[in-house]
Amino acid sequence: MRSDAMRANRSLVLGALLLSAALYGGCNCGGQPSGEDAGVDAGVVEDAGTDAGEPPDAGPTDAGEDQDAGPPPELKIDQVLPPRGPTTGGVRVTLRGSGFLRGVADRATAATKNTQVKFGSNPAQDFQVIDDGTLDVRVPPGKAGLANITVENANGIFVCEACFTYFEELFIKTATPKEGPLRGGTEVTVTGGGLTPDVQVLFGGLSAPQITVVDSKELTVVAPRATAPGPVDITVFSKNGVGVLRNVFRYYPDLRVSSVTPLSGPLAGGTQVTLSGTGFFGTMSVKFGGVEAASFTVVDDDQLTAVTPPGMAAGKVPITITTTRDQWTVRDGFYYEGGAGFVLGGVAPHVGPAAGGNTVTLFGEGFDPGNVSVTIGGQPASIVSASANEVQVIVPPRNGARLADVTLTDGTNTQTLADGYTYRIELTAIAPARGPITGGTAATVTGTGIPADAQVNVGALAAEVQGAPSETSIALLTPKGQGGAPTDVWVREAADPENEAVLKDAFTYDEVLTIGRVQPDRGAIAGGTLVSVLGTGFGEDTIVRFGKYVAKDIKVVDAHTLTCRTPKADDIGAVDVQVERLGASDPLPGGFAYFDPRSISGGLSGGPLSGTLNVTVLDNTSQATYGLPVELATVMLGTDPFTPYQGVTDQRGQITFSDPALVKAQTVTVFKEGYQTATVTNVNAENLTVFIARTGGDGSPAPPPPGPPPSIISGHVTGFKAPRPLGPNEKLEARVFLAMPSPYYMAPFANPPNRTGQKWQVVKDGGEYLLATNSGLHAVYAILGIANNQAKSFEPYLMGIKRGITVTPDQPATNQDIILDMHLDMTVPVTIQDPISPGGVPAMNYLYAWLDLGAEGFIPNPNNWASGEGSISSIGTTGTQVAFPNFPQLDGSNFVFMNVAQDTVMGTQSIFFRRQPGDISSAGGGVTIGPMLPIPTITEPPPDQPVFNGKVSWVTDPGPTPDITQVSIFKLTLLGPVTLWSIVLPGTETSVTLPPAAVQKLRNDEPNTPLFAQVVSSRSPKFSYNQWTYETLSQLTWSSYTFALSTAFTP
């Protein structure tokens, strides 16, 4: 019964593996489709170690070249995009040329491994061969100046002389001090690197009016006048880069006092006074007449309380507040009462508008509140309230000089404060209202109440007053200015700073139109990359050109920043970026580099996702259509049917999504009528290339291309020796086979080949063999054993190999004699590490092994396929230990082992490859295979829900985590399975939800068709999901994998 069960299980293994190979093993998305597999790379299995040498051979090995390969490709670099970068390295550039792939390797991944790239003498550690003409490189650090780029591979060495320029990239580290008043004028020191005389400095969106570059590591700058308190970025930029210190500088309100309550108190002190105003944070001292307050408390930035100290004498004293940032004095601050009778001490506030109507307080002592009257500038002021110490009045309009006497009478006493009240400066206009940012514009400020000692600031800096001001105008020359927005004109009286006026947003400094930096400075040829342009003089009607094409969606953020989307490019290469406005223009030579994000290997490439995702869709239907762009394919990010991130591909099969929000991993789905759908989750790289194939119609997959032309290999087998006396029905027999290019050409992945017309069974010493083959480099081998036709058994014990055989249709290989000189007498103990038990039932483990001959192919252990007559291994166990016989005495590095763990209930498998260098005999401890990946169990779509809801989910037992998972939805046809939807996602994920629009397409295309979902998870050495290609989706690169199949469902 056990043998029957094993045979049944073996049939399940074969069927499932053949299905897996049909769905996944034949993907040639990483290179041009071909009729022959390139074989397994010796480096793809885990723990490959150091090669211990090739197995003994009866003849020399000739790697040879394809006789029909034509002239070798020329290795060269034609373009470097972009051609310049910072000395710190790290930017990605594209090398355009030839000879990067052809003649180096069959696949781009292998070509990358066999290539060296240097910038100057520094090797690039991070690069990727995209196709024969494209190489994507992250630039290593280098010295400022010109540098050679060297590429070395099997096609030779090419040096592109002085084709890359390193520059010291601008960056900034610190800015001190970190705060200043709203009025501007704070001198700030900025440190960093790459600072040149052409730098621009912004505080928020306003440019600094004065910049002094001390050296390449330091500059000093005057902060512009700001419009509101709070933190701002400091941005420094030039054509060599941009540096930003986020929220590093804080504008605080100008220190001012608007009211003092009460205005008087006893000479002994102890009065608690409340001061209101702005800018009180950081107060260090409060003085009354030069004497420190007994105490003070800052309530908030707009209020503080202070306790008066004892006065030096009765009378009025100023109040001075000193903060860590500023100082302000209230002239008529506080009155110390001395009991001397009627005294008018002062007026608060002592400055007010010319129109009058404002309330002021006269303070002192000894007032008779029932009989008081007040005049200001000779005009009566209406009494609001009165007490023995304070009289509140309404100020009459100005009717004379700007400085007015204030007279208080209480019936018996009269006292006058000469010039006790000031009618405030009032400003009307400045003409002209604009001028160059360099300053020097002759302008006139008009208004009323202008004092002779008036001081004027236009923005943060002081203007140069021309001549003596009149009360109605001031002539001046504007200082250097700040760009970004109209700025204030500020006039104040030098002798009385409380008398000030501001003409808001009155003067505009015109900046020269310049362009300094484009960020990012490279993008896909499809256009649509969202870029920020830094410069000066931007405004309405500004346009930006990339080469000869105008950018789209231009939005002017402020006078120094605009955003736009790059136009579509005719071809790759660097283009000038030019800004234009009002007849002026300024170019940034080579300011933007267009590149082609297409990867012939497919998958993810480029740097991390940082706001822009470039998607390319290529055809993989047939040899004729392979790699052609798929135009008008719908591409969606996420699953929301209303997402703004969706569109159709252009004639190159490309589309670019660009938005600041695109910084998290994305799910990308591609679909088009008549094509299979593809979904890739967790896309966290800037470029994605997806291959899709037609699912029917005139674009159905064409027959595979013909393989190499046929030929033959023939010779004789010698060295027959019987290991023991032969019994009844036994005979010596040598079975001769070709080494196959890949394990996937042999059991359990394929049935034994058709040997009709060939001589592959030799029954006497010196007997002849003849094998049919195709052109190219081959090895043949013979297994000598005792055959028993009645028992249908074969007992192998000797092997011989003939290597280095090159054949062509015109030159078959004859006299390729095989000497049987290798004893198959080593038994390898195999330990299965962490075997799996799906559903609690131990899996059946089937062991396979191959002798690796490199370019000449692989030789299976005789037990893999009953020495040529079977399709499944005879070595199996449900335990953890098994003896694997019939190996030649060679180092373990020459062999590839494989375990197929079979779920005896569901028929799903977990497969693990292993190469273990060293002594693998019993004396050396044998070979350990594992740990095995747990087999997934598909939970959605569930067996009891035959209608697909757009979600595929699965669970696994605890165990190693796969690197990558592939989900396919397919239908079965007479010609085999046809994939309708392929999905790629990280191995950590266990479900995928598909966009409703694409699910509806599936329902429309296959309304009543039984469909199946298959989940394949795999691990590969040194795998990085952010750099996966379609090559890494092939079994040729996996060290272990599992798969599971759902029950049938309908869409």
Mean pLDDT, to the nearest integer, of 666-690?
Answer: 95
| CA 47 – CA 1040 distance, rounded (Å) | 13
Interatomic CA distance for residues 458 and 957, integer angstroms:
73
**Which of 521, 515, 569 has the alpha carbon at shortest distance from 544?**
515
Q: What is the mean pLDDT of residues 52-73?
A: 41
Claim to verify: residue 443 and residue 492 sit in the same structural domain: yes
289 inside domain:
no
State residue 5's pLDDT score. 30
User: What's the whole-number mean pLDDT along residues 49-54?
Assistant: 31
Q: Could you tell me where the beta strands, DSSP code E, fall in 268-314?
A: 272-278, 283-288, 291-292, 295-300, 303-307
Q: What is the mean pLDDT of residues 890-898?
A: 96
**Distances from the Cα of 368 to the Cαs of 316, 487, 707, in angstroms?**
20, 49, 120
From 993, 1042, 1013, 1017, select the one nearest 942 (Cα to Cα): 1013
Per-residue pLDDT at 603: 94
Residues 6 or more apart whose CB falls under 8 angstroms from that of 376 comprise 393, 395, 396, 404, 405, 406, 407, 421
How confident is the model at residue 827, as a pLDDT?
Answer: 97
- Express the helix, strand and coil content of the chain in percent, nearest 5 each: 5, 50, 45
**C-alpha span between 746 and 25 (Å, rounded):** 13
pLDDT in tens, 470-528: 999 999 999 999 999 999 999 999 999 999 999 999 999 999 999 999 999 999 999 99
pLDDT tens, position by position, 617-643: 999 999 899 999 999 999 999 999 999
The answer to the question of residue 717 being in a domain is no
Angle ∠(1018,1021,1024) on CA atoms, nearest 5: 80
Residue 225 DSSP one-character state: P
Q: Is 411 helix (H, G, I), strand (E, B) or coil?
A: coil
- Triad 650, 654, 660: Cα angle to 5°: 115
Indicate if 211 and 191 belong to the same structural domain: yes
Asked if residue 162 and residue 181 are part of one domain, the reply reads no
Residues 214 and 246 in one domain: yes
pLDDT at 23 over 60: no
CB atoms under 10 Å from CB of 1021, counted, come to 14
Reported as a pLDDT band with limits 50, 70 and 90, residue 36 is: very low
Q: Are 980 and 970 in contact (CB under 8 A)?
A: yes
Within this chain, do residues 81 and 105 fall inside the same structural domain, yes or no? yes
- With beta carbons less than 8 A apart as the criterion, state whether 799 and 822 touch: yes
Q: Based on the structure, what is the number of domains in the chain?
A: 6
In a domain, 200, yes or no: yes
What is the rounded CA–CA span in Å between residue 763 and residue 265?
130
Which amino acid does the sequence have at 407? T
- Residue 442 tokens read as 């002759």
**Residue 499 and residue 447 share a domain:** yes
Residue 908: which domain range? 827-853+862-929
d(CA 11, CA 872): 8
Percent of the chain with pLDDT over 70: 92
Residue with tokens 């234009």: 580
What residue type is assigned to position 212 of the chain? Answer: T
Q: Which of 510, 539, 554 represents a domain boundary (last residue)?
A: 510
Which own/partner pairs from 551-558 qualify as long-range (CB within 8 Å, at least 24 positions apart)? 552/527, 552/528, 557/205, 558/205, 558/484, 558/485
DSSP strands (E only) in 262-396: 264-266, 272-278, 283-288, 291-292, 295-300, 303-307, 315-323, 327-337, 343-348, 351-352, 359-365, 373-376, 379-386, 390-394
Counted residue by residue, the chain has a size of 1051
- Decide if 330 is inside a domain: no
**Residue 744 predicted with pLDDT over 60:** yes
Q: Does pLDDT of 652 surpass 70?
A: yes
Judged against a pLDDT cut of 70, whether residue 69 lies above it is answered with no
Lowest mean pLDDT among 86-90, 243-247, 846-850: 86-90
User: How does pLDDT run across 406-457, given as a tens digit for each residue?
Assistant: 999 998 899 999 999 999 999 999 999 999 999 999 999 999 999 999 999 9
At 706, is the pLDDT very low, low, confident or very high (cuts 50, 70, 90)?
low
Same domain, 547 and 627: no
The answer to whether position 421 is within a domain reads no
Q: What confidence category does residue 949 fall into, taking pLDDT thresholds of 50, 70 and 90?
A: confident
Last residue of a domain, one of 929, 956, 984: 929
User: Residue 22 to residues 157, 290, 873, 908: CA-CA distances in angstroms?
Assistant: 40, 95, 20, 15
Q: What is the pLDDT of residues 507-520, one digit of tens each?
A: 999 999 999 999 99
**pTM for the full predicted model:** 0.74
Question: In the predicted model, what is the mean pLDDT of residues 751-758?
Answer: 89
Backbone angles phi, psi at 454, to 5 degrees: -60, 140
- Answer whether residue 26 shows pLDDT above 60: no
Beta bridge partners of 329: 320
| pLDDT at residue 913, rounded to an integer | 94
CB-neighbour burial class of residue 974 (10 A; exposed 0-12, middle 13-18, buried 19+): exposed
Contacts of 704 (CB under 8 A, 6+ apart): 33, 35, 623
The reply to whether 613 and 681 lie within a common domain is yes
Looking at the predicted structure, is the pLDDT value of residue 27 above 80? no
- Which one has a higher pLDDT value, 1030 or 926? 926
Q: Residue 340 and residue 337: Cα distance in Å, rounded?
A: 8
Distance CA 312, CA 672 (A): 92
Q: What is the pLDDT of residues 184-198, one digit of tens each?
A: 999 999 999 999 999
Q: List the one residue out of 882, 870, 740 whose CA is nearest residue 792.
A: 870
In the chain, the N- to C-terminal Cα span, in Å, equals 41
> Where a domain ends, among 647, 665, 699?
699
Instruction: Give the lowest-confidence range in 25-34, 263-272, 436-445, 909-918.
Output: 25-34
577 close to 531: Cβ distance less than 8 angstroms: no
Per-residue pLDDT tens over the stretch 430-441: 999 999 999 999
pLDDT value at 43 more than 60: no
Residue 39 confidence (pLDDT): 31
Tokens of 125: 């550690």
State the average pLDDT over residues 606-623.
Answer: 94
Phi and psi of 149, rounded to 5°? Answer: -115, 125
| 782 within a domain of the structure (yes/no) | no
Q: Same domain, yes or no, for 591 and 614? A: no
The answer to whether residue 463 is domain-embedded is yes
Mean pLDDT of 908-928: 94
| Mean pLDDT for the chain overall | 90
Same domain as 588, residue 630: no
Lowest mean pLDDT among 442-456, 675-689, 747-761: 747-761
- What is the pLDDT, as a whole number, of residue 703? 53
Judgement on whether residues 831 and 877 belong to the same structural domain of the protein: yes
**How confident is the model over 581-606, as pLDDT tens digits?**
999 999 998 899 899 999 988 999 98
From residue 157, give the alpha-carbon distance in Å to each of 128, 160, 518, 811.
Answer: 17, 10, 34, 34
Cα dihedral sign, 257-258-261-266: positive
Q: What is the pLDDT of residue 708?
A: 59
Question: pLDDT at residue 932 above 70?
Answer: yes
Instruction: Give per-residue pLDDT as tens, 112-161.
Output: 999 999 999 999 999 999 889 999 899 999 998 999 999 999 999 999 99
Based on the domain organization, do 155 and 185 belong to the same domain? no
CATH number, position 216: 2.60.40.10
Q: Determine the Cα–Cα distance for residues 469 and 494; give it in Å rounded to an integer.
A: 13
Does residue 702 or residue 664 have the better pLDDT? 664
Per-residue confidence band for 85, with pLDDT thresholds at 50, 70 and 90: confident
131 is a domain residue: yes
Q: What percent of the chain has pLDDT over 90?
A: 78
